[in-house]
């Protein structure tokens, strides 16, 4: 079985979209793949209850309990590697990862970012797109490399920026597309 481990920090809606797609499309039968675990660095992440409700085992690894980034990433890798994952999926995982962690998962680590990369890496992407006068915004699924939000692009979705948009309305429009493209990109990687 190809195990997928999903890392979250918050609401986990992308995680839920992937798990629901995997269940609906019976990935265990069709792809020999399953979401083996959801791991959160935040004990309060709402996505933990969502994952449990979907029947996926969860684990919390609170980064505040570690002395530094290296120590946390080493413990995180240990927790992930229990599942010998074919794919490690970052889904709203709000941590900068050390190069050692990224290298350890080279070719197996993907992320979704709420902008049309290479535009707007980093935070506050929707407000920055509005402030910049962008007519289009979107989301990008990409491989994770040592440079933040810069890995090779696997898929993108484009949405219009509409008159009167706020960061919240634009984020909601983009998020709906994230839920569409992320499960499909994961599926494509599992088939490769
Ligand atoms: C998404 O917009 C994702 O692109 C970004 O953080 C948000 C996470 O949302 N990295 P969710 O936790 O998947 O609901």
The pTM of this model reads 0.97
The pLDDT value given to residue 148: 85
Report whether residue 121 contacts ligand 1, using a CB cutoff of 6 Å.
no
What ranges make up the beta strands (E) of 117-178? 136-143, 153-160
pLDDT per residue as tens digits for the range 52-66 = 999 999 999 999 999
Q: Mean pLDDT score of the chain, rounded to an integer? A: 97
Centre of ligand 1 from the C-alpha of residue 14, in Å? 6
pLDDT per residue as tens digits for the range 63-88 = 999 999 999 999 999 999 999 999 99
Minimum CA distance residue for ligand 1 atom 10: 92
The pLDDT value given to residue 167: 98
Cα(137)–Cα(159) distance, integer angstroms? 5
Q: Is 113 a catalytic residue?
A: yes
The pLDDT value given to residue 192: 84
Centre of ligand 1 from the C-alpha of residue 8, in Å? 9
The residues, ordered by sequence, that sit 6+ positions from 148 with a Cβ below 8 Å of its Cβ are 96, 121, 122
The whole-number average pLDDT for the span 133-157 is: 96
Coil/strand/helix, residue 72: helix
**Which of the residues 63, 83, 113, 126 is marked catalytic?**
113
Centre of ligand 1 from the C-alpha of residue 176, in Å? 11
Return contacts of 63-71, CB within 8 angstroms, 24+ apart. Answer: 63/95, 69/96, 69/98, 70/98, 70/100
Report all structural domains of the chain as residue ranges with CATH numbers, in order of start: 2-191 (3.40.50.170)
User: pLDDT band at residue 147, thresholds of 50, 70 and 90?
Assistant: confident
């Amino acid at each position: 079985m190809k195990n997928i481990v999903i890392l979250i920090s918050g609401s986990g809606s992308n995680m839920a979209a992937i798990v629901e797609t995997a269940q609906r499309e019976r990935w265990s039968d069709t792809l020999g793949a399953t979401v083996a675990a959801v791991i959160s660095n935040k004990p309060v992440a709402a996505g933990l209850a969502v994952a449990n409700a979907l029947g996926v085992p969860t684990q919390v690894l609170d980064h505040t309990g570690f002395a530094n980034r290296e120590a946390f990433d080493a413990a995180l890798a240990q927790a992930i590697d229990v599942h010998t994952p074919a794919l490690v999926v970052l889904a709203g995982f709000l941590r900068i990862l050390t190069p050692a962690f990224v290298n350890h998962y080279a070719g197996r680590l993907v992320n979704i970012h709420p902008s049309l990369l290479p535009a707007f890496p980093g935070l506050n992407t929707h407000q920055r797109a509005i402030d910049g006068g962008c007519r289009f915004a979107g989301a990008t699924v990409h491989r994770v490399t040592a440079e933040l939000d810069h890995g090779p692009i696997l898929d993108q979705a484009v949405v219009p920026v509409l008159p009167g948009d706020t960061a919240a309305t634009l984020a909601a429009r983009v998020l709906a597309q994230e839920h569409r493209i992320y499960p499909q990109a994961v599926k494509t990687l599992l088939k490769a």
